[in-house]
Structure 1
Amino acid sequence: MKISIERSALLKAMSRAQSVVERRNTIPILANVLIEAEGSAISFRATDLDIEIVDKSDAMVLQAGATTVGAHTLHDIVRKLPDGAMVELSDDGTSGRLEIRAGRSNFSLATLPKEDFPVMASSEYDCNFAIDATVLNRLFDKSKFAISTEETRYYLNGVYMHAADGADGPALRCVATDGHRLARIDAALPQGADNLPGVIVPRKTVLELGKLLADDTQIAVSVSETKIRFATPEVTLTSKVIDGSFPDYSRVIPQGNTKRLEVDAAEFAKAVDRVSTVSSERSRAVKLVLDEDRLVLSVNAPDSGAAEEELAVAYADEPLEIGFNAKYLQEIADQVDRENAVFLFNSAGDPTLMREGNDESAVYVVMPMRV
């Protein structure tokens, strides 16, 4: 194999590939990226056995072939090469080495046989549809903060994607919860997604996908009961889905909350951040005291001190005192794209609902805590 490729194209491909590869591997081949050159293109394939990413780039292929080499090492080398450099990769197939040349720099890396590289088995996909990257990015980006990190509840360690009945008709819905907060995000159901099986997309896949969705492009999504695939002309990301049943989230979304607070989302998030500076790290509790058009945020931590801040808000219901984990409040407020956030309360012991103005396509629930 012998190829010549522009440094920026190689860096882009290797950045995507190495992010899938775990830094600590008990199986040596999983630390490598499979490089395949044929025709006028080169592909980079990386996997951790649960996720596989294939990135295709244009290159000058002087001699077709394939090899595998350490993904993180190659990425670090390319990252440190000068901008605009042409990088030559060559492997004679017998030395067990990949030679890398760029300008006056020369590197020689150990390789492993391409035959040892595991390729994810192809799957028959039950559902295929196309969706704008910006729409898909919004669905995952606004819900991922609520993914649980508790390994024992593995079925909550991802985003539940399914077809549902939304406020404005059939919707593609993403839901995530960790038992303390919940995010439910809707988008118009794309053509062809009617028979979408409900799948739990793992956290790592959601995070990797976020790196691919920067461009305003169409994403081809294919879903089966065991796998999900996201593809653009350049990149294909295939992932296993979590084998488990997502709980009936609709039961925890309150329907009868009538006490309505409207507040500037950015100011609210900053105020929570300021007063929580003195809260104890363990609980990070902040108390909200609501009166007519007035909100007082306060923290009282006997070991470190106290803080209080008042905000002008729109609130016309009976007075209410309620406590929350400051981190949860901040993360939910940070999701708001519009100017105002609307909180709907019932009592100090019931879940609170939050949305962006009157938009019901993004709904958040947060459980209160005693303060």
Structure 2
Amino acid sequence: MKVTLERNHLLKSLGHVHRVVERRTTYPILSNVLINAHDGQLELRATDLDIEITESVPAMVGVAGTTTVPAHTLYEIVRKLADGAEVNLETDGTNEQMTITSGRSNFNLTCLAPDGFPDLKSGDFSHKFTLKAGVLKNLIDCTQFAISTEETRYYLNGIFFHTMSEDNGVILRAVATDGHRLARAESEAPQGSEGMPSIIVPRKTVAEVQKLLGDDDQDVVIELSDSKIRFELGGVVLLSKLIEGTYPNYEGVIPKDNDKRLAVDRNALKQAVDRVSTIASDRGGKAVKLGLSEGLLELSVTNPDHGTAREELPIEFEHEGFEIGFNARYLLDIIEQVHSEQAIFMFSDSGSPTIVQSEDEADRALYILMPMRV
């Protein structure tokens, strides 16, 4: 193999593909990136057996060929080369070493035979549709924070996507929950997604797709089956396995009779929660107590080891007062997702789940926060 290409092009592609490579693996080949030079382009591919990313970059191919080299090492070498430099990649006759030269810099990397590089075969996809990057980004941004990290309930370790029919047509819905909070976002279902299987996209896949999303108007082509999903965007192809399992009936968690409405300045609430939670105890679950009365919200934290904190905020609330407690970090996570000037809270009582949403009716995201005893 003998290839010449521009350093910035190579760095950008390596930046996309090397992220899926685990730094510690029992299979040496999984530490490598597959490099395939042919037809005026250099194709890079990396996998961890659950996710596979492929991207091609333009290159001057003197001699076609395929090999694999350590992904993170190659990325670091290219990252430290001069901006805009020309990079030459060349393997010897045995294909056991790759020489990387750029200006006066010269590196030799040990290669592994490409025959042993795994291929995450896509199989047949039952559905194919296109989403705007901005729509997909919003679905992910609104729900990603609520993905569970508890491995025992593996079916919660991703975002649940499905379509459903409503009076205004078919919608595409994204849901995530960790048992303490639930996030739900939705958009108009794109053509071709109707009747798609309900799927759970793993947390790592979601994070990688989010990093790849560019301009909001960029098209993202999505293909899926019961077991795999494929994203194609901006010349990058990401193929991933899906989480096998049944997502719980999240609709049963969403309260239907929360009739006590509270409206509060979103930024003021965020700052107040952040301030009073400074002294909250991790042992106590970072608990913050909200005391609601007509026109006034009192936030308070009590830490036996450090003292107390209290702050008041004006609110719109015209119901009988009560107190309710939340995990401060969970509450802040949800406030971060509300992008209108005011955040709307719908309560039932101090022991029931609370609904949080934007005052903007066009924002169709909805959040559920479980209370805690304080």
Normalising by the residue count of structure 2, what TM-score does the alignment of the two structures yield?
A: 0.97
- Could you tell me which residue of structure 2 aligns to residue 314 of structure 1? 316
For residues 329-350 of structure 1, what are the alpha-carbon distances to aligned partners after superposition, in whole Å with 9 as ceiling and x for unaligned? 0000001122221110000000
Q: Which residue of 2 aligns with 1:245?
A: 246
SS at 1:334's partner residue? helix
Whether the 8 Å CA contact 2:292–2:322 is kept in 1: the answer is: yes
| Counterpart for residue 200 of structure 2 | 200
Q: Deviations over 1:25-65 (max 9, x none)?
A: 10000000001111111111000000000011111112111
CA distance in 2, matches of 1:167, 1:355: 21
Unaligned segments of structure 2, at least 5 residues: none
Q: Which residue of 1 aligns with 2:99?
A: 99
Residue matched to 1:120: 120
Match status 1:66 vs 2:66? yes
CA contact under 8 A between 1:219 and 1:231: conserved in structure 2?
yes
Secondary structure of the residue aligned to 2:257 is coil
Deviates more, 1:314-323 or 1:123-132: 314-323
Question: Does the 8 Å CA contact 1:166/1:361 hold for their aligned counterparts?
Answer: no
Unaligned runs of 5+ in 1: none
Question: Structure 2: how far apart are the matches of 1:233 and 1:43?
Answer: 14
d(CA) in 2 for partners of 1:152 and 1:333? 28
Aligned residue type for 2:94:
T
Structure 1 residues 1-371: aligned runs within 5 Å: 1-165=1-165, 168-216=168-216, 217-282=218-283, 283-359=285-361, 361-371=364-374
The list of structure 1 runs, each at least 4 consecutive aligned residues, that deviate by more than 4 angstroms after superposition, is none
CA separation in 2, counterparts of 1:146 and 1:167? Answer: 28
For the structure 1 residues 361 and 113, does the alpha-carbon distance in structure 2 shift closer, same or farther, using more than 3 Å as the test? Answer: same
How far apart, CA to CA, are the structure 2 residues paired with 1:141 and 1:166?
23
Counterpart of 2:365 in 1: which secondary structure? strand
* Contact 1:324 1:368 (C-alpha < 8 Å) held by counterparts: yes
Aligned residues of 2:91 and 2:98 also touching (Cα < 8 A): yes
My pick for the range that moved more, 241-250 or 293-302, is 293-302
Deviates more, 1:290-299 or 1:161-170: 161-170
Q: What TM-score does the superposition give when structure 1 sets the normalisation length?
A: 0.98
CA distance in 1 between partners of 2:108 and 2:174 (Å): 46
Contact residue 261 and residue 317 of structure 2 kept, 8 A:
yes
AA aligned to 2:346 is L
Alpha-carbon spacing, 1:165–1:303, altered in 2? closer, same or farther (3 Å)? farther
Residue by residue over 1:54-100, the C-alpha shift from the partner in whole angstroms, topping out at 9 and shown as x without a partner, is 01111111211111000000011111111111111111341511110
Q: RMSD between aligned alpha carbons?
A: 1.2
Distance between the aligned counterparts of 2:92 and 2:229, measured in 1? 36
Letter aligned with residue 194 of structure 2: D
AA aligned opposite 2:366:
V
Shift of 1:122: 2.4
How far apart, CA to CA, are the structure 1 residues paired with 2:167 and 2:23? 44
Instruction: State the shift of 1:169 in Å.
Output: 3.3
Q: Does the residue aligned with 1:361 lie in a helix, a strand or coil? A: coil
Q: Is the 8 A contact 2:67 2:95 kept in 1?
A: no
Cα separation, 2, equivalents of 1:273 and 1:135: 30
Query: How many aligned positions are there?
Result: 371
**CA separation of 1:291/1:168 partners in 2, compared to 1, >3 Å: closer, same or farther?**
farther
